[in-house]
Structure 1
Amino acid sequence: MLRKILFALAGALLSVAVVAAPSVEMQTSMGRIVIELDSEKAPKTVRNFLQYVNEGFYNGTVFHRVIPGFMIQGGGFTVELEQKAAPRRVENEAKNGLRNDRGTIAMARTADPHSASAQFFINHRDNASLNHPSPDGWGYTVFGRVTQGIEVVDRIAGVATGNRAMHQNVPLEPVTIQSVRIISEKGKP
Structure 2
Amino acid sequence: MTDQTPALDPENTLNLDLKTGRVVIQLLPNIAPMHVAQIKTLVRKGFYDGTVFHRVIEGFMAQGGDPTGTGTGGSDLDNIRAEFTDKAKFLRGTCGMARSQSPHSANSQFFIMFEPASHLNGQYTIWGQVVEGMEHVDQLKRGSGGGGTVSNPDKIEKFSVAADAA
CA distance in 2, matches of 1:21, 1:178: 20
**Structure 1 partner of 2:3:** none
CA distance in 2, matches of 1:20, 1:29: 23
Q: What's the offset of the Cα at 1:86?
A: 1.4
Contact 2:96 2:110 in 1 (8 A): yes
Structure 1 unaligned segments of length 5 or more: list them: 1-18, 133-138
Mark the structure with the bigger radius of gyration: 1
TM-score by length of 1: 0.74
Q: What's the offset of the Cα at 1:21?
A: 5.8
Contact 1:30 1:175 in 2 (8 A): no
143, 147, 150: which is aligned to 1:171? 150
Segments of 4+ in structure 1 off by > 6 A?
Answer: none
Relative distance call for 1:178 and 1:83 in structure 2 (3 A) is: farther
125, 130, 141: which is aligned to 2:125? 141
Q: Structure 1 residues 66-75 or 93-102, which shifts more?
A: 93-102
> Aligned with 2:16: secondary structure?
strand
Contact 1:108 1:116 in 2 (8 A): yes
**Structure 2 partner of 1:7:** none
**Structure 2 partner of 1:12:** none
Contact 2:10 2:161 in 1 (8 A): no
CA distance in 2, matches of 1:20, 1:41: 17
Alignment RMSD (CA, Å)? 2.2
Relative distance call for 1:170 and 1:52 in structure 2 (3 A) is: same
Relative distance call for 1:108 and 1:160 in structure 2 (3 A) is: closer
> Aligned with 2:88: secondary structure?
coil
CA distance in 2, matches of 1:44, 1:148: 24
Q: What is the percentage of aligned positions where both structures have the same residue?
A: 35
CA distance in 2, matches of 1:116, 1:140: 9
**Structure 1 partner of 2:75:** 86
Contact 2:31 2:85 in 1 (8 A): no
- Greater strand fraction, Structure 1 or Structure 2: 1
> Aligned with 2:137: secondary structure?
helix
**Structure 1 partner of 2:135:** 151
**Structure 2 partner of 1:182:** 161
Give the length in aligned residue pairs. 155
TM-score by length of 2: 0.84
Cα deviation 1:119-177 (Å, max 9, x = unaligned): 00001111100001xxxxxx101111001111011111xx34233xxx64223332001
Q: What's the offset of the Cα at 1:67?
A: 0.3
